[in-house]
Structure 1
């Protein structure tokens, strides 16, 4: 199974460009600049991540700073700070941007640059793929002769790079990252790349279930991005029990940026779950662009130690008692219709008809 490099936020403050001398890096192949503004969805907090990527699984090593950082070159005049790259163009075009490498230490660093595909892990976290497994937008990124950059002490190097979009590229979002590596430590910056063409926002919600007991119950579900654009989903939960409506969850943003074609499994706390009931859960998920999906599931909510058969028996008993009362009322009504209206009044006496005497005489 490939190693996944989890994307984390960078907490290093920006340094003024004037405080550090700029070292020119080897230029990449010339290409027309990309003059595109990011869409509203890309400007969301979940999408605007400058990221640090660590190849080490040790928490202590991950907490150490490499002594340098990577970031997009600021906009015109150096006033517009960009937390990520945004590039857009039709298939067959070459896009260009610039990466800044800042050495804040008193020693030289040698940094290697590459592109990488970005994706969601199973639990929704953002990650980048290793170089050998990057076959989409990550493989379209090239630094030309600037793949390896030497950073003198307390300097800032600007490295141009290009993104060559293949002619047969499908439209939509192609998430990627620029990754800088030194001695096994990696720092990355998100690249939001959109290829021109029809944009489709679509998703499904699947595998709804309830886990845990009591106040610790959570609703588990799976989201699948069926479209070609990145989604920022919102989730609402409605619950209906056998004995009335049950508290669910109001619509709220899901803390995940769902990339195209990805599937993630998430959980949502359910503090309003009943102690004993059979509940119908209805999950509704929406996202900008008109994406909407619903899914339903019937779940048992039982106290600890009570089995499903016992709970079913209690609910069946609760439903049988009203039914029995109705049946008794129906039988009493039928019996009343068969009996006389006034049971205390004497029944009428029927007088038998007189017998005719057969004498043979005419009358």
Structure 2
């Protein structure tokens, strides 16, 4: 009986552990959409006999054409679950968030009529026709064609967009790199350069603006000068951001080598492929106010202590008493007068 009782207790513990594991794992499982969306595999040119062209995968779409061109491609949807999925497809404009991340416009305008609505850029040029809503049977892969019509009046350059698939509140976006033929211009500016923080926590904040019509992959160089010469800055490095045409982003660059006490002028030089180059600068006094405050308090305390010590020394010094019966001194004694008669004695 004791053995049986022990086995029963072990069984209860195993069931409880299984229930806890299932409860912990179910939210993660619920987050899985159960389907995928990606560009359909394309075919590459080849010189093999028979004209056989191998398939290749693509992380995004790259399209190019002249104004008025109709471009076509395909989106692959795969249902990995045992339930039918209903997926809605649309095109969306792409933009940079304030910190430089890539984002797409929502399907509906934001509350309050703000500008984060669907937009009228390249995303609105994408059409799925009758295939905007797709039902995918369980364990099935579907390929959906779509077209992108470049308006005749489209300006040249890059027009970022995305193909967005939505189902049950979950969205998957596939980037579309569209370039309209014509003159291109790579240009940017660096604005609002400031130094924030101090010491190892100092950062250089700045704003990058893409003034051209092509996407840029910028590189940053930092140079600083103080009152006594050049201050160690940072060597050039590629920034982890793709700056889309017409976009403005606010970035910060760590500066762990910033001086503690100095007046510095920071110069940022940003370059990008295509000949883009911009320079921006800003200056600031770096002063350790905490240290100065403690130093001032210490000097005041030292001065107070010195004054008190001098007062005590003077108060305890004995006074010299005058002899008894002596008249009080009223001032310096007058010099003796001599009679001058003009005659010799």
Fold-level similarity (TM above 0.5): yes
SS at match of 2:171: strand
SS at match of 1:135: coil
Q: Give the length in aligned residue pairs.
A: 250
Deviation digits for residues 314-355 of structure 1 (CA, Å, limit 9, x no counterpart):
xxxxxxxxxxxxxxxxxxxxxxxxxxxxxxxxxxxxxxxxxx
**SS of residue in 2 equivalent to 1:215:** helix
Give deviations 1:52-94, integer Å, cap 9, x for gaps: xxxxxxxx78992201010001121563110000000010110
TM-score, normalization: structure 2?
0.70
C-alpha spacing 1:245/1:74, structure 2 compared with 1 (3 Å): same
- In 2: Cα distance, 1:63 partner to 1:168 partner: 46
1:100 matches 2:76: yes
Distance (whole Å) between structure 2 residues aligned to residue 279 and residue 145 of structure 1: 62
Alignment partner of 1:64 is 2:40:
no
**Residue 98 (structure 2) pairs with residue 113 (structure 1):** no
2:179 pairs with 1:194: yes
User: Any conservation in 1 of the 2:195–2:283 contact (CA below 8 Å)?
Assistant: no
Could you tell me how far apart the structure 2 residues matched to 1:108 and 1:86 are?
31
Task: Give the alignment's TM-score, normalised by structure 1.
Answer: 0.66
Correspondent of 1:249 among 222, 234, 242: 234
C-alpha change, 1:307 and 1:145, in structure 2 (3 Å) is: farther
- Counterpart of 1:84 in structure 2 is 60
Report matched runs for 1:206-221 at 5 Å.
206-221=191-206
Give the aligned partner of residue 280 of structure 2. Answer: 295
In the TM superposition, what is the alpha-carbon distance from 1:300 to its structure 2 partner? 1.4
**What SS class does the counterpart of residue 305 from structure 1 fall into?**
helix
TM alignment of 1:121-140, pairs within 5 A: 121-132=97-108, 133-140=118-125
1 or 2, which has the higher helix percentage? Answer: 2
CA drift at 1:148 = 0.4
The answer to whether the aligner puts 1:147 opposite 2:132 as a matched pair is yes
The Cα offsets for residues 209-245 of structure 1, whole Å up to 9 and x where unpaired, read as 0111221110000000000000000000001110121
Q: Which structure has the bigger radius of gyration?
A: 2
Give the alignment's Cα RMSD to 1 decimal.
1.9
Secondary structure (helix, strand or coil) at the match of 1:258 reads coil
CA distance in structure 2 between the aligned counterparts of 1:85 and 1:108, rounded to whole angstroms: 27
Deviation string 1:138-162 (CA, Å, 9 cap, x unpaired) is 0000001100001111111000000
**Separation in structure 1 between the aligned mates of residue 30 and residue 275 of structure 2, nearest angstrom:** 40
| Kept after mapping to 2: 8 A contact 1:213/1:304 | no
Q: Is the 8 A contact 2:198 2:258 kept in 1?
A: no
Unaligned runs of 5+ in 2: 1-26, 44-52, 109-117, 296-345
Q: 2 CA distance for matches of 1:225 and 1:62? A: 41
Task: Give the distance between the partners of 1:186 and 1:78, measured in 2 at CA.
Answer: 30
CA–CA distance in structure 1, aligned partners of residues 137 and 208 of structure 2: 46
1:134 Cα deviation after fit: 2.3
